[in-house]
């Protein structure tokens, strides 16, 4: 890999020893793979119908506009042939260096060897030429429905990314160089990491993104002081200890998504939104959802509303003696919060004073990148899976979200762990990312069919709890925070949903970054900024174009919005009361249950 003659020579005995270890590890590998779950083809990729449509469109274009196809092919052939000739000429003139490289920057090819080594540079450039040709061919296809075209582009890119030379040992110079430097020890360590990951996940290929031994929920993450003051089959209610002598009169409840665990909002003290809210003087309650198993098969959206949201509201009112509360809903919990607010309006219940939505979709007319997984071929597969098992295993949701950022969450970590032999980092956010939850069977299907696919909430057609619910019924003051590069809840769709709410008091904040980093963005980091614009009548693009960009976190701006809606100051409240004794210390028991 290098021309440095002073490099330490390979130790044959050490190399032989490592090769023997690889053989032993290979037996463990085979054993681990024998336990791999059988995943239905419908959950492995899009149905063959998508590729049939693509082939039909391609051949139709070939017949009707052959010059376009030939032009694309000739362009690709010309680039690859010219690059081959340039490379040969360099060698013919005795130059062990690659020809001019105008491929630009790509994080996958950050090693200097991709630039300086003729062999690896040739592989890289040819791969990028091919990637561009495939991308151009797919983008240029006509005669396909927009949704089908979008899915074809996405899954084609997944295949192209999978085939990157960085993902294979023989064509990854960094991995080969490390193997030589360590006499093969890096490959032994990498195989050990691979086998361990397979054993940890019952034979499923899931890369451990973080060192699991580095964190303990309630030990060094999720440590903000509080008490579980109520518990039912759906959730534990945590009331956090006051951090100030006085607190605002109106309590605040956070409803986190039950797709993940709530402690994303309470990682380390320095980036904990929960801790920061208590320090601003609020009486804070957080719902910690149960991690369901097959016993929750019949639990649906109505149960989350009645036994979750409405019960939590009543318990908080009882504990604090207040008639009104402020609420926050994050992601799917924000979607369900909108349903709950509509139901409360229909019932004449004025328990909620204001509502905040974090990265929430209520208008699913444009489902963003995640929409490629929300068509019938996948949803039919999910419905069949949950009908058989009684719940949707966390494996499927985790894998789906990982593929939205496959280079960052699958291939790059796999390269570091399996080829380079590196241990997973002690990174709290990635630890949380791997600590996923299951979803009840009925709820999964209802959410996917009625909300994601049929967009029934935005259309005012969804019926839950015996009532037809609609966004127009959300009339309380609303503040919504969306994230600019969110792969899960596209900000423009979030904005359109807020536009349709019936509230006369709406605030929309667009944070930089994505679904998690844009929300978990403490002021002390001075990292991501945010956009504001009081005009909610404009289209999303026009709203952003006319918006003011503000440096730093949105947290203080949101707190300024919440403060006048939180009443006067009262003496700080301690968790619970005589009828709500402490059932456990925060973060509670549900968040650490393994199912």
Would you name the residues annotated as active-site residues? 331
| Rg, Å, the chain Cα set | 27
Q: Return the number of other C-beta atoms located less than 10 Å from residue 204's C-beta.
A: 18
CA dihedral 528, 534, 535, 540 (to 10 degrees): 20
- Determine how β-strand 530-532 pairs with β-strand 548-550: antiparallel
CB atoms within 10 A of CB 27: 10
Decide if 300 contacts 258 (C-beta within 8 A): no
Phi, psi at 87, each rounded to 5° = -65, -40
Note the Cα 531 to chain centre separation in Å.
Answer: 22
Q: What does each C-alpha distance from 384 to 46, 298, 303, 323, 378 come to in angstroms? A: 15, 15, 22, 44, 10
Helices 48-64 & 146-162, crossing angle to 10 degrees?
100
Q: Tell me the C-alpha distance between 425 and 430, whole Å.
A: 9
d(CA 338, CA 352): 11
CB count within 10 Å of CB 112 equals 10
The three-class DSSP label of residue 312 is: helix
Token code pair at residue 173 = 């110079």
Distance, in Å, from the CA atom of 287 to the CA atom of 237, rounded to the nearest integer, reads 5
- Exposure b/e, 151-172, CB count within 10 A at least 16 = b: bbebbbeeebbeebbbbeeebb
Q: What are phi and psi of 532, to 5 degrees?
A: -135, 145
Angle at 438 between CA 401 and CA 510, to 5 degrees: 40
What is the rounded CA–CA span in Å between residue 43 and residue 444? 15
* E strand or H helix at 392: strand 391-392
């Amino acid at each position: 890999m290098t021309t440095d003659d002073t490099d330490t020579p390979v130790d044959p005995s050490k190399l032989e020893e490592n090769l023997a270890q690889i053989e032993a590890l290979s037996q463990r590998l085979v054993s681990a793979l024998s336990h791999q779950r059988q995943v239905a083809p419908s959950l492995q990729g899009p149905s063959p119908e998508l590729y049939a449509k693509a082939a039909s469109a391609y051949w139709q274009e070939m017949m009707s506009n052959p010059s376009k196809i030939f032009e694309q092919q000739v362009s690709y052939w010309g680039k690859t042939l010219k690059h081959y000739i340039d490379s040969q000429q360099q060698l013919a003139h005795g130059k062990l260096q690659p020809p001019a490289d105008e491929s630009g920057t790509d994080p996958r090819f950050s090693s200097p060897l991709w630039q300086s080594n003729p062999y690896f540079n040739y592989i890289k450039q040819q791969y990028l030429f091919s990637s561009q040709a495939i991308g151009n061919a797919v983008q240029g296809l006509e005669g396909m429905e927009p949704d089908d075209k979008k899915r074809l582009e996405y899954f084609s890119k997944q295949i192209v990314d999978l085939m990157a030379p960085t993902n294979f040992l023989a064509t990854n110079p960094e991995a080969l160089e490390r193997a030589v430097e360590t006499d093969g020890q890096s490959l032994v360590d990498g195989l050990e990491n691979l086998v361990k990951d397979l054993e940890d996940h019952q034979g499923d290929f899931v890369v451990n993104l973080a060192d699991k031994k580095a964190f303990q929920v309630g030990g060094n993450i999720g440590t903000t002081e509080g008490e579980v003051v109520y518990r039912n089959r759906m959730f534990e209610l945590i009331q956090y200890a006051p951090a100030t002598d006085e607190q605002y009169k109106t309590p605040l409840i956070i409803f986190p998504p039950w797709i993940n665990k709530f402690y994303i909002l309470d990682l380390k003290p320095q980036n904990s939104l929960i801790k920061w809210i208590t320090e601003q003087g609020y009486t804070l309650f957080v719902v910690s959802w149960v991690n369901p198993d097959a016993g929750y098969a019949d639990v649906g959206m109505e149960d989350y509303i009645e036994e979750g949201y409405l019960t939590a509201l009543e318990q908080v009112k009882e504990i604090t003696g207040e008639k009104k509360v402020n609420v926050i809903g994050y992601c799917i919990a924000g979607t369900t919060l909108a349903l709950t607010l509509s139901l409360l309006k229909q019932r004449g219940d004025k328990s909620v004073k204001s509502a905040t939505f974090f990265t929430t979709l209520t208008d699913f007319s444009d489902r963003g990148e995640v929409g490629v997984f929300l068509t019938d071929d996948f949803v039919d597969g999910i419905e069949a899976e949950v009908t058989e098992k009684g719940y949707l295993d966390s494996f499927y949701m985790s894998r789906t979200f990982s593929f939205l950022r496959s280079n960052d969450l699958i291939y790059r970590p796999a390269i570091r762990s399996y080829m380079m032999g590196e241990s997973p980092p002690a990174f709290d956010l990635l630890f949380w990312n791997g600590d996923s939850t299951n979803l009840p069977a009925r709820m999964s299907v209802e959410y996917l069919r009625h909300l994601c696919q049929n967009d029934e909430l935005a259309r005012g057609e969804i019926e839950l709890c015996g009532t037809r619910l609609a966004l127009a019924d959300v009339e309380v003051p609303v503040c919504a925070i969306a994230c600019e590069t969110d792969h899960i809840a596209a900000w423009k769709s979030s904005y359109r949903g807020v536009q349709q709410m019936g509230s006369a008091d709406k605030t929309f904040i667009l944070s930089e970054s994505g679904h998690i980093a844009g929300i978990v963005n403490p002021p002390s980091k001075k990292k991501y900024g945010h956009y504001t614009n009081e005009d909610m009548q404009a289209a999303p693009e026009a709203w952003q174009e006319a918006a003011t960009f503000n440096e730093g976190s949105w947290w203080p701006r949101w707190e300024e919005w919440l403060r006048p809606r939180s009443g006067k100051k009262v003496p700080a409240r301690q968790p619970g009361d005589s009828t709500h004794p402490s059932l456990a210390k925060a973060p509670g028991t549900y968040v650490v249950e393994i199912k």
